[in-house]
Structure 1
Amino acid sequence: MNKKVLRLEIFGFIFTCAIGTLMHFVFEWSENNPIVGLFCPINESVFEHLKMLFFPYLIWTFIEAIKLSQDKFNVYTAKLIGITSGMLITLAVFYISAGMFGRYFEVVNIASFFIGIMFAYIISYNIINYSKGKGLINGISFALLIIIAIIFIFFTLSPAHIPFFLDLKTQTYGITKQH
């Protein structure tokens, strides 16, 4: 067990939980600033809430990559697999509970966020801790993380009109509140 990696992953978990939770309110606090809305949830859609997990995790990924730059770890690969898994677990908990009970429970929505973050960091810790090497796979993983960030921005501006992007409270889509 690498204590340096473990410590970074624990701090990353706390950072992502705290910043992600705050992000839920930042768009409103910014008086609906569209630049803020590119990175923070702009409505109550499932898609928008994934930003609360993704962007703080991405910031921590860059911090961790700098902290571990002298080590030979596949940080970006571990983080790509971690965040992808974390978002999928968040969605699974959310949709399975909604399917089981026929409705959404706020406590389950909140729990799915923290469960997803926890799994993202557990998975990335194990990959970082037990893999060595830097190279092409790490570069590709870095590029894929940036592509995911661009996809979040794109779908904030141009959401597909499917339930995943629908604000259940206002029955609208996206930053421009399209019906």
Structure 2
Amino acid sequence: MGKRLFYWELAGALFTAALGTLLHFTYGWSGGWTPAAAFSAVNESTWEHMKLLFFPMFLTSVVQLCCLGRTYPNFLAVRGVSTLAGTALIPVLFYTYTGVVGRHVMWADIAVFYLSVLGAFALDFRLLRRGRFTSLWQQLLGLVILWGLAFLFVFCTFHPPGLALWQDPVTLGYGPLR
């Protein structure tokens, strides 16, 4: 059972990394199509890069829930925690390294994304194997976390707060590119 879970998690991490990389470009490729803005990066802000991990991981969660949900009754709670941790790792790692170095470096930005994906799925694997967080309220909380994040990512794309996390460092603007 552990080997099967490992392969599911590895596939999820690879899918999330690949789709997240593509989603970095889909808004521009679409010509600024508004529906693409909901799940793609619309600028170079840290918030938009967090979306690149979240939406592929959310999609992976739907597939894995169908295939693994009965085997792992703690799936929703664990996926809520690991998704939240993975998305939070992006600003933590980014602002830590840029604070130390004094500027951002493209290869390090890319590494932050991939390390966050790996961290999220490593945590997911560990927590699923432990078998904790199986109560109904914990599963419901995991579901609320996942759907709450989905709502926030879409809402804040179109209504970004005027905070540094949402500011595009290239244009100094907020929200979708015009």
TM tier, smaller = over 0.9
3-state DSSP of counterpart to 2:48: helix
TM-score for both structures, normalised by structure 1: 0.94
8 A Cα contact 2:32 2:177, kept in partner: no
More relative contact order, 1 or 2 (CA 8 Å, 6+ apart): 2
Report the counterpart of residue 168 of structure 1 in structure 2: 169
Q: Alignment identity in percent?
A: 27
Q: 2:24 touches 2:41 (CA, 8 Å); kept in 1? A: yes
Q: Does 1:79 align with 2:79?
A: yes
d(CA) in 1 for partners of 2:167, 2:72: 43
Structure 2 CA distance for aligned equivalents of residues 4 and 33 of structure 1 = 39
> Does the residue aligned with 1:65 lie in a helix, a strand or coil?
helix
Aligned length: 177
Q: 39-48 vs 162-171, which deviates more? A: 162-171
- Residues 72 and 128 of structure 2 are in contact (CA less than 8 Å); yes or no, is this contact kept in structure 1? no
Counterparts of 1:6-25 in structure 2, within 5 Å, are 6-25=6-25
Query: In the alignment, does 2:44 pair up with 1:44?
Result: yes
Contact in 2 for aligned 1:47/1:164 (Cα 8 Å): yes
Encode CA deviations 1:84-122: one digit per residue, 9 max, x unaligned.
111222222111111011111111111000000000000
Corresponding residue of 2:88: 88
Residue 176 of structure 1 and its aligned partner are, at CA, apart by 6.3
Question: Residues of 1 paired with 2:79 and 2:54: CA distance?
Answer: 11
TM-score of the two chains, using structure 2 as the length reference: 0.94
Give the aligned residue type for 2:162.
H
Residues 43 and 177 in structure 2, CA contact (< 8 A), matched pair in contact too: no
**Given that residues 72 and 134 in structure 1 are in contact (C-alpha distance below 8 angstroms), is that contact kept between their aligned partners in structure 2?**
no
Query: Residues 1-179 of structure 1: matches in 2 within 5 Å?
Result: 2-131=2-131, 133=134, 135-175=136-176
Shift of 1:167: 0.8
Question: Aligned letter for 2:88?
Answer: L
Residues 1:101 and 1:69: Cα distance change in structure 2 (over 3 Å) = closer
Deviation at 1:162, TM superposition (A): 1.4
Q: Tell whether the 8 Å contact from 1:76 to 1:139 is kept in structure 2 after alignment.
A: yes
Structure 1: give runs of 5+ residues left out of the alignment.
none
The alignment yields a C-alpha RMSD, in angstroms, of 1.4
Deviation at 1:69, TM superposition (A): 2.7
The 4+ residue runs of structure 1 with deviation greater than 4 A are none
| Offset at residue 48 of structure 1 (A) | 0.6
Deviating more after overlay: 126-135 vs 98-107:
126-135
Distance in 2 separating the partners of 1:71 and 1:134: 15
Contact kept, 8 Å, 1:73 with 1:129, in 2: the verdict is: no
Measure how far apart 1:144 and its partner are: 1.7
The residue matched to 1:167 in structure 2 has which SS? coil
Deviates more, 1:72-81 or 1:159-168: 72-81
